[in-house]
Chains A and B, each alone.
Chain A
Amino acid sequence: MSERFQQGSLSARYGRPFVKLVLALTLFFLAFPVVMTFVSSFASDWFGVFPTGFVTTANWEDVIVGTGVGADVAVGSSLVYSTGLALGGVVINLIVGVPIAYAVARYDFWGRDWVNVFAILPLAPGIILGVAFLRTYPDLSTSGIALIIGYSLLKAPYMVMAVQSSFQSMDLQQIEESARSLGASWPRTFLTVIVPNAKTGIIAGSIISWTLAAAEFNFSYIVYSRGTPPLAIFLFNNITNASFLNAAAAVSVFFLLIALVTIALQIIGNRGAVRRI
């Protein structure tokens, strides 16, 4: 056997460890700031390389109680408000986005490609859409409805793409026709067979579009005028008006929220995958 076969090529010997190393470094690069932010939110000082003065809850108290140092309002009200707004956007996306994803994946109709393009391309940036909304519907900006509609429009592509990917992995035509031959009407087929079968995509789409909507800054900044600030504005105020450690606590609230929502939706998704009759 030649020496080349005995030793293997360079890529065969070092390729896999190299890819692993690159992945680990990338992951560390991305995760390190998040971890450091969370950890520093429990520190009293950060003047050197690493934060010091552990463990204090003062930063969290400032954010949670709303001492006036940062956003001048407690995180709870902003959090609840933004959760509701983002949820509203997700609900609209579910009602509109899932049928669009289904239609594009299942049927061949005139203009299908255009519908697909409009549904999955984030056409207008948040700042542009915000200005357009403010000029067109000046009275809506204080009610929160503009924020809900804007969030749903901005984040719809993520929902449509995630759900469409689920639909494309199924034999939609045969599943639909099986259900209908068994006596189910089209709406019943859609709601009791098609949608539950796309559960994974719907959950993924909901998590992504909710998370991005809850943290949408550009659109919120343009459209929001008064009252309880959306979370993105709250975080911005904390970051700009308070110490970094206060801002770290405010940002950590958001990290925790995302983690909790993701875990909750995963549990809901896994539960009842197969239910007994």
Chain B
Amino acid sequence: MSEVSLENVTKRFDSTVAVDDVSIDIDDGEVMGIVGPSGCGKTTALRLVAGFETPTDGAIRYDGEDVTHVPPENRNVGLVFQSYALFNNMSVLKNVTFGPKMHGVSKRERRERAEELLELLDIEELADRDPKTLSGGQQQRVGLARALAIEPHILLLDEPMTGLDAKLKQNLRQELGQLLEDLGITTLYVTHDQEQAMSMCDRIAVMNEGRLEQIGTPAEIYEQPANEFVAGFIGTANLLEGTIRDGTLSLGFGEVDAPETTVEEGDVTVLVRPDEIPVGDGPLDVEVTNLFYQGEHVQATAELPDGRELTLRLDRSRKTVGTGDTLSIDIDPSSVHVIQSTE
């Protein structure tokens, strides 16, 4: 049975449809990510699960039970915000024991539980500190400990790493991912950062303009995007228009065998990821128009013979490549994914 589910949920604010007929089932112990650009409805979806918004249509269920109209304080959800929203009038320890206290847990037990969580998150020495004096990373851990202290039905994370620097974000991402896996807690993780979602979530729901575009594992979303939006939002995408006739995909500048899984005939849009285009040996020559050094690799923009642009990923051994150089590439039929018929 699904632990938490949104069933055909719609949320309107006056004439604006923030969430449009969205259905998501989050399994017991699963980490579900919701990603999408700003204003896509992902935070509204989280607020609907938390109980801070009531759906215009549809239902929210916990373990099959309809909680659509249950107030947030009775839903037992752990919430961590981007700003952490720690209570500055209380010490760190008191922040963490606040939730259990509201749930009627005895003083001794809530103190034990808080100390256990602070130790688990490696911040036990901060127990008596004023939250205002903590760094962003420390505040994030306190916010997480506070949310976990109520042993929540579901943990809701709303962009919890947005304000952190890149290195800290990377470390915390690994730690948080490991923690969620160890605790086996059902989690809804809302972020606009697709890399975070890919590395931390068991499944990802991609939203755009209130609609659910696709839901699947990170690999499914990346390798088999349902449409152009998902292909473009998750990772870097080369979207090319072509035509399939008799098992052959014509891309204007050349032809390759159509992917075996393809059933469409006629005009199609295909996706080719930059990391799946071998560079250096191939029948197709492209001219490099732009180079972006990214440390671990170089991202290049190249012009195809028919004038269209293609993004390539070059390893660092090719750092001598310059703008205006010609590169030979190959497009392997196995790396071509037909994502949408344009007819």
Contacts and interface: CB of A to CB of B under 8 A. Distances in A.
A177 B93 contact: no
Nearest to B72: A180
Given A197-B88, A273-B89, A275-B91, A178 B102 contact: no
A119 B207 CA distance: 42
Contact of A182 (B99, B111, B156): B99
Nearest to A184: B102
B91 A274 contact: yes
Given A274-B130, A275-B94, A277-B93, A178 B79 contact: yes
B90 to A, nearest CB: 7
A36 B79 CA distance: 58
A226 interface: no
B103 interface: yes
Contact of B72 (A174, A181, A275): A181
A140 B341 CA distance: 82
A174 B83 contact: yes
A273 B87 CA distance: 11
Contacts of B97: 277
Contacts of B79: 177-178, 181-182
Contact of A274 (B73, B90, B102, B146): B90
A264 interface: no
A185 B102 CA distance: 9
B50 A177 contact: yes
A164 B99 CA distance: 27
A188 B71 CA distance: 14
Most central of A182, A273, A276 by chain B CB within 10 Å: A182
Interface in B94-141: 94, 97-99, 102-103, 107, 111, 128-130
Contacts of A185: 73
A165 to B, nearest CB: 16
Contact of A175 (B78, B85, B150): B85
B73 A171 contact: no
Interface residues of B, number: 36
A95 B263 CA distance: 70
B62 interface: no
Most central of A177, A199, A273, A274 by chain B CB within 10 Å: A274
Contacts of B143: 178
A17 interface: no
Contact of B87 (A177, A197, A276, A277): A197
A182 B94 contact: no
A117 to B, nearest CB: 25
B93 A183 contact: no
A196 interface: yes
Contact of A276 (B77, B83, B91): B91
A9 B75 CA distance: 64
Interface in A194-225: 196-197, 199
Contacts of A171: 81, 83, 85
Interface of B: 50, 52, 71-79, 81, 83, 85, 87-91, 93-94, 97-99, 102-103, 107, 111, 128-130, 143, 146-147, 150, 156
The 4 tightest CB contacts between A and B, nearest first, are A183-B102, A182-B99, A196-B89, A174-B85
Given A171-B83, A177-B81, 5 more contacts: A181-B77, A182-B150, A199-B89, A277-B93, A277-B97
